[in-house]
Amino acid sequence: MTASPTILSLIPHRPPFLFVDSIVSEGADTLVAQRTFHAAEAFYQGHYPGAPITPGVLLCEAVFQTGALLMARHMAGQGTQPGIPLLAKISDVRFRNPVYPGETITIEVKRKESLGGFTMMSGSVKSGDKRVLTVDFSVAWKIPGGTP
Question: Is 47 noted as a catalytic residue in this protein?
Answer: yes
What is the three-class DSSP state of 40?
Answer: coil
The torsion angles phi and psi of 63, rounded to 5 degrees, stand at -65, -45
In terms of Cα–Cα distance, which of 121, 86, 117 is closest to 107? 121
Which residues on neighbouring strands pair with residue 125, listed in sequence order? 107, 133
Burial 114-138, CB ≥16 within 10 A → b, else e: eeeebbbbbbbbbbeeeebbbbebb
- Check 13, 38, 47, 74 and give the catalytic one: 47
The CA–CA distances, whole Å, from 25 to 10, 22, 102, 118, 148 equal 15, 9, 22, 23, 27
Catalytic residues: 47
